């Protein structure tokens, strides 16, 4: 069940990594071509939207599976504990992904566009 929190953490780290790569590409585009950064920031914004959407879909699927496992546990404490942990990990992973998304958008909007 620790895979669930690791999945959420990996998505959050991936989002952070994408922002850093986007900044590097933005720097190169701005300095070499003089085209500015509008197109790249729009692309990063769309990519973040897809990443968070995918994270939400995976988390909901895990929550549904964990809920089913919880219902069918028939009082077995081990199964109930595993299902509860899966639910907690899915929610924590989703919170981490949304927080990473908000932080990256804040950095893009306030730091990269600062003049």
- The model's pLDDT over 8-43, given as tens digits with 9 standing for 90+, comes to 555 555 555 555 554 544 554 454 445 555 677 778
The least confident of 10-19, 34-43, 49-58, 60-69 is: 10-19
Cα of first residue to Cα of last residue in the chain, in angstroms, is 45
What pLDDT shows up at residue 42?
A: 79
What pLDDT shows up at residue 33?
A: 47
What pLDDT shows up at residue 96?
A: 92
| Mean pLDDT for all residues in the chain | 77
Q: How would residue 64 be classed by pLDDT, with cut points 50, 70 and 90?
A: very high
- For range 52-71, the mean pLDDT: 94
């Amino acid at each position: 069940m620790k895979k669930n929190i690791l999945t959420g953490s990996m998505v959050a780290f991936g989002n952070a990594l994408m922002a850093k790569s986007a900044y590097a590409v933005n720097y190169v585009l701005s300095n070499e071509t003089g085209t500015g950064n509008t197109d790249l920031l729009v692309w990063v914004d769309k990519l973040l939207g897809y990443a968070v959407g995918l994270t939400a879909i995976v988390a909901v699927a895990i929550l549904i599976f964990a809920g089913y496992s919880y219902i069918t546990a028939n009082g077995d404490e081990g199964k109930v504990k595993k299902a509860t942990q899966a639910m907690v990990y899915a929610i924590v992973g989703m919170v981490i992904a949304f927080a990473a998304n908000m932080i990256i958008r804040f950095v893009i909007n306030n730091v990269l566009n600062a003049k």
